[in-house]
């Protein structure tokens, strides 16, 4: 018998023998449930061990991914690009996780690409003695790997919420545009800085940002000039949906939103994300057909019955692991 089951069985027997102790037993059961939930979260968080990311489970069914190179301004080295794919593949396959928050440790969200590290880690790109065609092929493969790092966020079945504070530069904009929801703190700014480095952004911003804000002139303005977009303008233009006073309040708001999402049917939420993303890239007619194909299965889910019963009984539905 599992150790946690013993005090529960004792309380059940206590209620049976002494009905007057039911209130005390309820309180003890609630406390035990809380302890077991905390243990489950702690156990779950040990599944992920990365050098550039810190992953935790602060609430049931909610994962918190933190960019974890604060001493380097959360700059993105080769290890980061690889671990982002590994992390979001792992979270996406975890049936216990229903929503994910991404934030950055330290003073800034991210300074973008770690150029110093990359020059050391990819010396072949700077070896002019090698044939240009072969260097180009190698570089193309690397760019594709970098692109997949953030496409993996978009392909993750669970909603991903970005909580941005202070600087979100270069690759940081690529990252957050792949997220489903974006919040930021009042001191945040966004900068598509690649033209200042003599290159075009190639990891997702130029493809995703126009569809997020729906304003081609604004996108070209900030991408051609590399100017900073501060929090209020980011809110006005639709880059973010909420601005919070501080980093802590921003992360808290993101975690609370993730917790609310995690209380919903994971079948319904994940089907909704899939349909929205598909509709963004396809005509209306194709998208309506796509959601018909999804719902011909999903409408038969037990979650529909549970949701209806909970509404009728004015209760909170509890959904099983996906």
Calculate helix-pair angle for 284-298, 266-281, nearest 10 degrees.
160
| Mean residue pLDDT across the chain | 89
Residue 35 three-state SS: helix
pLDDT tens across 18-77, in order?
555 555 555 655 555 555 545 444 444 457 899 999 999 999 999 999 999 999 999 999
Q: Is the pLDDT of residue 17 over 60?
A: no
Q: Write the pLDDT tens digit of every residue in 119-140.
A: 777 776 667 788 889 888 988 9
| Dihedral sign (CA 120, 121, 123, 126) | negative
pLDDT given for residue 21 in this prediction: 52
pTM above 0.75, yes or no: yes
**Sheet of 242-244, strands arranged across:** 53-59, 62-67, 99-104, 160-164, 181-185, 242-244
- pLDDT interval class at 109 (50, 70, 90): very high
User: Would you state the pLDDT for residue 11?
Assistant: 47
pLDDT at 7 over 90: no
Half-sphere exposure of 284 (CA within 13 A, CB side): 0
Confidence category of residue 305, pLDDT binned at 50, 70, 90: very high
What is the model's pLDDT at position 32?
54
User: Based on the number of CB atoms within 10 Å of its own CB, is 119 exposed (0-12), middle (13-18) or buried (19 or more)?
Assistant: exposed
Q: What is the pLDDT of residues 186-241, one digit of tens each?
A: 999 999 999 999 999 999 999 999 999 999 999 999 999 999 999 999 999 999 99
pLDDT value, residue 118: 81
pLDDT single digits (tens) 155-185: 999 999 999 999 999 999 999 999 999 999 9
Residue 40 has what pLDDT?
Answer: 47
Which positions ≥6 away from 196 have C-beta within 8 Å? 226
């Amino acid at each position: 018998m599992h150790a946690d089951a013993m005090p529960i069985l004792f309380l059940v027997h206590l209620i049976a023998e002494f009905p007057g102790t039911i209130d005390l037993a309820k309180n003890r059961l609630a406390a035990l449930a809380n302890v077991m939930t905390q243990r489950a979260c702690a156990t779950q968080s040990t599944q992920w061990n990365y050098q550039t990311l810190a992953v935790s489970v602060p609430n049931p069914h909610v994962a918190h991914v933190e960019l974890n190179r604060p001493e380097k301004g959360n700059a993105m080295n080769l290890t980061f690009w690889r671990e982002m794919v590994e992390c979001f593949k792992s979270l996406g396959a975890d049936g216990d996780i229903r929503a994910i928050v991404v934030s950055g440790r330290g003073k800034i969200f991210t300074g973008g690409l770690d150029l110093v590290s990359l020059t050391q880690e990819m010396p072949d790109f700077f070896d002019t003695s090698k044939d240009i065609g072969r260097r180009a092929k190698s570089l193309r493969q690397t760019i594709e790997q970098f692109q997949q790092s953030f496409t993996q966020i978009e392909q993750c079945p669970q909603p991903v919420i970005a909580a941005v504070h202070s600087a979100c530069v270069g690759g940081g904009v690529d990252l957050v545009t792949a997220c489903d929801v974006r919040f930021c703190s009042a001191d945040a700014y966004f900068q598509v800085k690649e033209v200042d480095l003599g290159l075009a952004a190639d990891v997702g911003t130029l493809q995703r940002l126009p569809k997020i804000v729906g304003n081609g002139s604004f996108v070209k303005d900030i991408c051609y000039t590399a100017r900073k977009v501060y929090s209020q303008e980011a809110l006005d233009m639709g880059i973010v949906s909420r601005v919070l006073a501080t980093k802590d309040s921003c992360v808290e708001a993101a975690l609370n939103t993730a917790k609310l999402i995690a209380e919903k049917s994971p079948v319904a939420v994940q089907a909704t994300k899939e349909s929205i993303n598909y509709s963004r890239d396809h005509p209306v007619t194709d998208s309506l057909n796509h959601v018909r194909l999804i719902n011909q299965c999903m409408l038969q889910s037990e979650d529909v019955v549970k949701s209806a019963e909970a509404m009728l009984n004015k209760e909170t539905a509890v959904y099983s692991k996906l």
